[in-house]
Structure 1
Amino acid sequence: MDIKDSDATLIFTSNLPLVLISAAVALAIYLVTSRRPHYERWEKYGVKHVNVPVHQMPEPRNRFLMKEYGPTVGFFTHVPVLVTRNHDLLKQILVKDFNNFPNRGDDLPSKSPLGKGVFFLKDYDWKRIRQLMSPSFSTGKLKRISTHVQEAANRLTQAFEKCAETGSHLKLFHTTGQYTTSIIAKTAFGVQADSIGEEKDDEFTFFAKNIFKKRSKFSLFFISFLIRFREFRRFLTYTVGMYFPDPCTRTSTDYFNAILKERIAEREKAEIQGSRHVNNDFLQSLVSTMVTSEKKTAAAVISEENAASTANGSAKLEKTITAEEVIAQSVLTILAAYETTSSTLQFCMYKIAQNPDVQEKLFQEIIDVVEHENPTHEELSKLHYMEQVVNETLRLFPPVIRISRKTVEPRSYGDINIPAGAVIEIPIKEIQRDPAHYPDPDVFDPDRFNEESKAKRSPLAFIPFGQGPRLCIGMRLALLELKIALVKVLRKVKVELNDETVPRKGQDIPIEYLGFARPKQPIELAVKLRAD
């Protein structure tokens, strides 16, 4: 199978005049909006104000701001933006005063269902969908699906063993992506995705891996420009119908739309007919809710009065969801399960290959604690050093490098005043590499997360899954997948770097940050069997 994702190239070749006109309009908007009155500067609110280039990507921008101007700094785009790693301020925004910062500061203009996923939803819709999704990630549900995780981890281990036996290098992200996609396909949608260890991905895995566009430097520059003008980006996406600003590939979008519509129709029919042999998975849970709400009302519309009272916390959330929303949450779940967990497992394997002493200490803990072929939840909870290793990996390579919140009403916290409508950017990567809390922050050191070290730090110094009510809903599933994979694989093999691996022994691999961490070259490890 060969999908040629040339969306960006086609846009620039066939619609070059439109792109140039769009760029000119965006530039005009910038020149007009950049002439803002003095009162819009952050000094008025007790915060250092800086001007930032319109084209600068968020990650290098925030890294520069934190280094040059300290923990809290402000600038303006189309709205006032406050970037902070101040823990007292973060505690207010993410936890204590959450009701004033309930929504993310950015949406995702997209023709794909992804833009309507719970990650981007706001206010009542976020509360409603979050509540409907939560039971699928409960402790009881995780215990029931752990059998599927164990089976996938067994196939992952066999892939590592095969590389050890043949002397070939393991393509790390390729294989870990197959592992995590196999789990979510089976446990959430009842779909078989059995390509773990194979050179060629199965269809489901292939489209999951290719859901995001791979952009050129020129297109990335233009996208960074559009990020500053969100309404203009929405105009290009929804009114003009351009696919270029969309982060998702059309091929993957079409594939998941088609397969999910088919599955939903099958599940809906079975539910209406009262079939009790339907799958007890994530998709079925949402479809059951959809069918129930359709029975209550043909329109399945919540009144404005009910929505308003719910926003004030005085009414119960309605258990309703549309087919379109089911697809959106499903696509988001597929993407999150694939990208974040497989990336973390990749970096974890890479760092323990770089640090043989860490790998041996981890192996010894597994041997001492895990007595069963399939580790129990109780045994996993006792793997304290493994938890330190995973946390240190998440510290260095958080699944999402920044999050944001938008202010509803003005707030004052000490000398800092935040106006209504301001966006708060929370630079997770910079928070977790702050030398004030992590000496030699670029060094991999799992002992940063022993009990003594953790007790000396603020909990807000480590937020790889966010914090507060919008904490990542799939966090516990991700950690379960990571720990089971590490137990299964490391009992059987060692992972190593040598003079032929990527990177070579003694070297580091360059990392790029485009919303999340990615190595600039695919990591390839050497694998050796452990003696029985």
Structure 2
Amino acid sequence: MMFQKDGLTTAILHYTINEEKMVEAIYINLSTSRNTYTGGEVLQVARQVFLNASFIPIPMIMDFILSPWMTVGIASMLSIFLYSKWKHSLFSKLGIPGPKPKFIFGILPTYKKDGLAWTDLQLVSTYGKFIGIYHGHNPVTLIADHEMIREICINRSDVFINRASSFDMCGTLGCAVALADNTHWRFLNRKLSSIFSKDRIDKICPMLTECLDTMVENIKISSKSGQSFDFMQHCSHFSMDILMGGVIGQKVNSAKDPENVLIKQAHVAWIAGNAGCIRLGGICALCPPMRKVLNYFNVSPCSKDIIEFFTDITRDRINQSDAPIRSDFLKFMTERSDNDNNNSAKNKERGLTEEEITANILFFIMAGYDTTANALAFLAYNLATNTDCQERLIHEINNSIIKGDMCYDSIMDLPYLDKVVSETLRMFPPMLRFNRRASSDVTVCGRHIPRDMDVSVPIFALHRDPEVWADPHKFDPERFAPEQVARRPTYAYVPFGAGPRHCFASKFAVFEIKLAIVHLLKHFKLESAPETEMPPKLEKGGFARAENGIWLRVQSS
């Protein structure tokens, strides 16, 4: 047919109509010139539609326009448009600067394109230190002002006592100390506040050292003949081994036995806790009313199977509380359970429930697995690419650590090690933001923050503020010399958050990172490799993680 080659418009304008072949009605697919009818029939209808308005079947078109489906569709689209415009007008009404939100999605497309870390740097550079952004339709105030951070996290922590979230954490996970709200959080905090005490950490040091010995052996295998390898993989295995041993009391070797059922279930829990939270949070950000729907149906990012698996572990340990087993954090929690007779005698307050213990096991896995691995990998990267700093640290370790003396005090008392770790956490904080939610209308440093507003602190951008940190993208441990720290605003450095809701396990996290690097530097010298990406490209999510791994080489000391 001629019009298939030349195009429908050309055919309409250059060919005549055969009146005898007119049809009363014909459905044409306007996205293509092809049709099951003969070319003449299509041409007749098309030309009449374009050139003879009197032919247009007005009643049929009006019936379609006025049909219930069309009415519902138009009304729905108009409602979505008006709702989105209304939700995205809040910050302009409050006079808070920020980027123009994308229709429905707000700033989310920018995160997907540029990543959270570099988006925050750009936002603070462009709009200042008090910014309004939208996660879908959920308004979020981004605060990078040190005094406002102090007010929110310390002086007005009673108003900002709860962490912000796009959705309510339902079911078992809602009983984790880091995720609970109000009085439940206060109760859990009292019960678990000493779980990461110095004495308790010292008790699990032998287990930590065993995991590090395993890591050293695995690195030796990977680095045969001086070849480079992804150091990040070994950090991930070490982190998993620590979690299984330190939290649950089960010795594993995740590098050599990845099919171990405990490792597989822990990995599934970690994925569910992170990807699942992002998925549910995204749904509620785009459609805030879904928050109540998910809450009503008790929707959780973790599957029922995962919850039951770790509940069984908790139940077994509670029932075997008198058995002689190694020290771990699960043992500590079961000692504070409702089933523990000593707990009831000593305290009028109730003990921890089975669900609360399970929730905290799961959260330690979800929050601790990747963050610990990332921090250790970035620390190794910084030392491998700054050999003078590495040599100075090795000298300090050799002069201060007696063989076998790897206790809490001996590790935490190394001043240069503390500088190196602190500078790494400045450059690559485990979480790129931390957040709070206002429980009531409040004025902070002259700025009005309405009730239920999510407040987010961009840690990555805060730690690279050129007004505070000279040459902020450079690795310089001397930034944490005592005289430098004294000159700096206290809340310019918050790698684990601030105030009563700061990272619950920060003390343990810093210790295990320090212990790991001390142990590794007693066996190896870290070197950059041809594959080493400088600087590492970060993934686009909310964690500081190297997108392409951390490729290094090692030499035996």
Contact 2:198 2:408 in 1 (8 A): no
Q: Does 1:289 align with 2:336?
A: yes
Please tell me whether residue 191 in structure 1 is matched to residue 250 in structure 2. Answer: yes
Cα distance, 1:239 vs structure 2: 4.1
The one-letter amino acid of 2:538's match is I
User: 1:26, 1:229 within 8 Å by CA — same for their partners in 2?
Assistant: no
Task: Give the AA of the match of 2:290.
Answer: F
Instruction: Give the C-alpha shift of residue 375 in structure 1.
Output: 2.5
Shift, 1:467, TM fit: 0.7
* Structure 2 residue 514 is matched with structure 1 residue 483: yes
Take 1:317 and 1:34, find their aligned partners in 2: how far apart are those partners? 51
Candidates 490, 493, 497, aligned match of 1:462: 493
User: Does 2:552 correspond to 1:525?
Assistant: yes
CA contact (8 A) 2:372 2:509 kept: yes
1:66 alignment counterpart: 124
**Greater RCO structure (CA 8 Å; 6+ sep):** 1
How many Å separate the matches in 2 of 1:162 and 1:341? 22
**SS of residue paired to 1:321:** coil
Q: 2:200 aligns with which of 137, 141, 150?
A: 141
Offset of 1:30 from its aligned partner?
A: 5.1
Contact map agreement 2:430 2:544 (CA 8 A) in 1: yes
The answer to whether structure 1 residue 91 and structure 2 residue 122 are counterparts is no
Q: 1:358 to 1:79 in 2, by over 3 A?
A: same
Aligned partners of 1:410 and 1:337: how far apart in 2?
34
Residue 334 (structure 1) aligned with residue 397 (structure 2): no
CA deviation string 1:483-508 (max 9, x = no partner): 11111111211121222x343xxx43
Aligned equivalents of 2:421, 2:502: Cα separation in 1: 18
Instruction: Please report how far the alpha carbon of residue 194 of structure 1 lies from its aligned counterpart in structure 2 after TM superposition.
Output: 2.1
SS at match of 2:403: coil
**What TM-score does the superposition give when structure 2 sets the normalisation length?**
0.75
Matched, 1:34 2:81: no
1:156 to 188, 196, 215: 215
Contact 1:111 1:238 (C-alpha < 8 Å) held by counterparts: no
| Structure of larger gyration radius | 2
Please name the residue that 1:385 is paired with: 416
Identify if the C-alpha distance between structure 1 residues 477 and 39 changes in structure 2 by more than 3 Å, giving closer, same or farther.
closer
Deviation digits for residues 352-372 of structure 1 (CA, Å, limit 9, x no counterpart)? 112222211211111121122
Query: What is the DSSP-based 3-state SS (H/G/I as helix, E as strand, rest coil) of the residue aligned with 2:496?
Result: coil
Matched, 1:232 2:290: yes
In 1: Cα distance, 2:204 partner to 2:342 partner: 30
RMSD over aligned Cα atoms:
3.5
Once residues 298 and 313 of structure 2 are traced to their aligned partners in structure 1, the CA distance between those partners, rounded to angstroms, is: 31
Determine whether 1:129 maps to 2:188: yes
Aligned to 1:265: 315
Question: What are the within-5 Å matches in structure 2 for residues 499-518 of structure 1?
Answer: 499=530, 501-503=531-533, 507-518=534-545
Deviations 1:424-457 (A, max 9, x none): 1111111111111112222222121122221221
Identify if the C-alpha distance between structure 1 residues 222 and 380 changes in structure 2 by more than 3 Å, giving closer, same or farther: closer
1:101-140 to 2 correspondences below 5 Å: 101-106=160-165, 113-140=172-199
Tell me the distance in 1 between the aligned counterparts of 2:130 and 2:441: 17
Q: CA deviation at 1:231?
A: 3.8
Q: CA 1:214/1:278 → structure 2, altered by over 3 Å: closer, same or farther?
A: closer
Q: Contact 2:230–2:552 at 8 Å: present in 1 too? A: yes
**Distance change in 2, residues 1:191/1:144 (3 Å):** same
Matched letter for residue 546 of structure 2 = P
Any unmatched runs of 5+ in structure 2?
1-73
* Structure 1 unaligned blocks of 5 or more: 1-23, 298-315
C-alpha distance 80-454 of structure 1, shift in aligned 2 (>3 A): same
When normalised by structure 1's length, the TM-score is 0.78
What is the alpha-carbon distance in structure 1 between the residues aligned to residue 77 and residue 174 of structure 2? 26
Match of 1:494, SS? strand
Following the alignment from structure 1 to structure 2, what is the Cα–Cα distance between the partners of residues 201 and 112?
A: 28
Instruction: Tell me the equivalent position of 1:362.
Output: 393
| Higher mean C-alpha displacement, 259-268 vs 403-412 | 259-268
Indicate the percent of aligned positions where both proteins have the same amino acid. 24
Number of residue-to-residue matches in the alignment: 470
Q: Is the 2:147–2:445 Cα contact (8 Å) retained in structure 1? A: no
Contact 1:128–1:318 under 8 Å retained in 2 = no
Distance 2:465 2:228 in 1: 35
- Corresponding residue for residue 444 of structure 1: 475
Query: Distance in 1 between the 2:96 and 2:253 partners?
Result: 53
Deviation at 1:523, TM superposition (A): 2.3
| Cα distance in 2, alignment partners of residues 236 and 25 from structure 1 | 25
